[in-house]
Amino acid sequence: QVQLVESGGGLVQAGGSLRLSCAASGGTFGNYAMGWFRQAPGKEREFVAAISWSGGITAYADSVKGRFTISRDNAKNTSYLQMMSLKPEDTAVYYCAADKNKRFIPARSTPLYDYWGQGTQVTVSS
């Protein structure tokens, strides 16, 4: 069983930056694709970014492309989401997730992920 723990959330002004971390334990981190999702109040959980198990392929939602960067450090069993030029509409609880299937292209759909963290709140003030 894989456990995922997010950290790095907080309150930031519009235009600012944050880096989220997702520490994994209980499995072979290098075998999992990693994804980041977010959920704002009253809205469904949505895809933000994903990185393949090899780290060679990334995918982003159009709303964050060019502002957010996903990465992974397999030696540290950690995935990161660097968020820049933050906007008030980026306010949400951010979740990391792990996909145990070695897909060539990382998945964007929540049902395709097997393990989830508890989430970390990101609030962007205007």
Burial 19-31 (b: 16+ CB within 10 A, else e): ebbbbbeebebee
pLDDT of residue 85: 98
Which residues on neighbouring strands pair with residue 121, listed in sequence order?
93
Q: Report, as an integer, the average pLDDT of 99-103.
A: 89
**Tokens 């997702």, residue located:** 22
pLDDT digits (tens, 9 = 90+) for 3-54: 999 999 999 999 999 999 999 999 899 999 999 999 999 999 999 999 999 8
pLDDT above 90: residue 103 = no
Interval 67-94: pLDDT, tens? 999 999 999 999 999 999 999 999 999 9
Q: Which residue has the tokens 């996903």?
A: 70
The CA distance from 35 to 120, in Å, is 14
